[in-house]
Amino acid sequence: MNINEQRRRLVGAMGLLGLSGCVAVPTSAGPALAPWQPGQLDIHHLAIGRGSATLVILPDGTSLLIDAGASANATDVSVATRPGPQRRAGEWIARYAQRHLAPTGGRGLDYLLVSHLHPDHLGDVAPGLPRSGRGDYLLTGVMDVAEQLDIGTLIDRGFPDYRYPGAGIERAPFAANYRAYVAARQAGGGAVQRFEAGTDRQFLPRGRRPVDGRFAVRNIAVNGEVWTGRGDERRSTFPDPATLPDRDRPSENMCCAAVRIESGPFRYFTGADLTSDTFNGDPPWRDILGAAARAAGPVDVATADHHGLYDGVSADVARTLRPSAWVIPTWHISHPSLQQLEHMFNERLYAGPREVFATEVMHENALMHRRLMQKLRSTRGHVIVRVEAGGERFRMLVTDNADESDRVIYESAPFRSGALKPA
């Protein structure tokens, strides 16, 4: 009996996938994740328990970390830090990246993208955090990663002044701490850039390993600007915030940076916390996730943005993206919402098989959504997209987040890239 058959039988015996906390066989039953190989595209959705962090290794070995969340929420509403409390979330993220970047030959991260200014994406502040010796800021999230790993270029949605859209979040303690890190980085000669919608030349390959075939990172949307699909052209979808009452200004989530990553025919989309809900009568321009999804077009794998919450994956977004696999970055008691799960699984919205994964679902949420939780392939563990050289096929894998062994606890059959793209 092979390992996947062992997993399937165990999952069937469990009945409810969420009851045990994860869809998994014991750690000892799985092999360690095979290292990245030149030509592969690897996308790791980390299950650290305190927010979002996604490590991307492009086919030539170029590396990109999207966010490094470190929420300070209490464990009655949030997952405890994984693998354990011995280290801060950002330290665990840095250690994970170090392990998996070793085969690339890189000494650190080529790029770190901060999608927006929220604690579960860049790091919260709380009493007792250590202060960096490199500047006047506390170590948490992104700052912890930067303390342990060299970062070639830091890119975020708001640099250099962070005043758009004028909601004042740039003055919040967690955002002020991050901005102090940015200032110290600049003072030390480190590269910092503003994310530019439309281009596919901001995350340039470093060429560490020779590879055949095309791969790229396309910047789809940020701050209400959305790629048109023509060259580097972009269009503005938000009204001028100065013309709006405060309650109607775009939220921080609506300003997130979104990217499409491609290798050959394979396509992946993530929009961090972009939202698609128009709240029963709000102006259509507030459906920024819908606009970004239409720009990205059908993809093979997508994240359920805003953690699969009520304002995340609308029916139209699911119908537009049509992925073979959804990944939900979950860590809070509210992640995910029932209606968004319905949209991901609904074959009336788009036909064909699909697999849905969550990085870690709290027990209370799993009980509430028991009916659909039984359909998830994973409710706990690092979720990895592994795309073969050339991009024609990919697999979904889950590794144990209880320690740093990187033991595989689920591996899908191969998917053919582009299989669900026709309407």
pLDDT tens-digit readout, 252-276: 999 999 999 999 999 999 999 999 9
Closest Cα to residue 291, out of 355, 236, 251, 370? 236
Q: How does pLDDT run across 137-157, given as a tens digit for each residue?
A: 999 999 999 999 999 999 999
Q: How confident is the model at residue 301 (pLDDT cuts 50, 70, 90)?
A: very high
| More confident position, 1 or 29 | 29
Measured distance CA(346)–CA(66) in Å, rounded: 29
Average pLDDT over residues 51-68: 98
Q: Checking DSSP bridges between strand 41-45 and strand 54-57, what pairing results, if any?
A: antiparallel
Whether pLDDT at 406 is above 90: yes
Q: How confident is the model at residue 369 (pLDDT cuts 50, 70, 90)?
A: very high
Average pLDDT over residues 82-95: 98
- 407: DSSP letter: B
Average pLDDT across the chain, whole number:
92
Average pLDDT over residues 163-189: 96
In terms of phi and psi (left: phi > 0; alpha: psi -120 to 50; beta: otherwise), the region of 123 is left
Judge residue 41's burial from the number of C-beta atoms within 10 Å of its C-beta, 0-12 exposed, 13-18 middle, 19 or more buried. Answer: buried
Contacts by 340-345, CB closer than 8 A, 24 or more apart: 340/304, 340/308, 340/309, 340/310, 340/312, 340/313, 341/308, 341/369, 341/372, 342/372, 343/313, 343/314, 343/315, 343/317, 343/318, 344/304, 344/308, 344/313, 344/318, 345/372, 345/375
Q: Using alpha carbons only, how large is the chain's radius of gyration in Å?
A: 20
- Edge-to-edge, what's the strand order for the sheet holding 266-270? 234-236, 225-227, 215-222, 258-263, 266-270, 301-303, 325-328, 355-358
The pLDDT score that the predictor gives to residue 281 is 86
Residue 333, CA distances (Å) to 108, 377, 411 in order: 33, 19, 26
Average pLDDT over residues 287-309: 98
Average pLDDT over residues 293-306: 98
Measured distance CA(124)–CA(114) in Å, rounded: 14
The pLDDT score that the predictor gives to residue 302 is 98
Q: How confident is the model at residue 213 (pLDDT cuts 50, 70, 90)?
A: confident
pTM of this prediction exceeds 0.85: yes
The pLDDT score that the predictor gives to residue 247 is 86
Q: How confident is the model at residue 106 (pLDDT cuts 50, 70, 90)?
A: confident
Tokens linked to 250 = 């775009």
Whether pLDDT at 6 is above 50: no
Average pLDDT over residues 311-328: 97
Whether pLDDT at 167 is above 70: yes
Whether pLDDT at 23 is above 90: no
Measured distance CA(287)–CA(306) in Å, rounded: 13
The pLDDT score that the predictor gives to residue 177 is 98
| More confident position, 394 or 12 | 394
The pLDDT score that the predictor gives to residue 29 is 60
Place of tokens 């990217």: 259
The pLDDT score that the predictor gives to residue 27 is 40
Average pLDDT over residues 24-33: 64
Closest Cα to residue 136, out of 191, 205, 86, 184? 184
Q: What is the largest CA-CA distance in the chain?
A: 65
Measured distance CA(44)–CA(79) in Å, rounded: 19
The pLDDT score that the predictor gives to residue 250 is 96
Tokens linked to 193 = 């850039």
Cβ count near 166 (within 10 Å): 13
Q: How confident is the model at residue 209 (pLDDT cuts 50, 70, 90)?
A: confident
The pLDDT score that the predictor gives to residue 61 is 96
The pLDDT score that the predictor gives to residue 221 is 98
The pLDDT score that the predictor gives to residue 20 is 36
The pLDDT score that the predictor gives to residue 421 is 64
Q: How confident is the model at residue 315 (pLDDT cuts 50, 70, 90)?
A: very high
Measured distance CA(350)–CA(339) in Å, rounded: 16
Closest Cα to residue 224, out of 281, 273, 292? 292
Tokens linked to 412 = 């899908």
Would you say 66 and 261 are in contact if contact means Cβ atoms under 8 Å apart?
Answer: no
Q: How confident is the model at residue 422 (pLDDT cuts 50, 70, 90)?
A: low
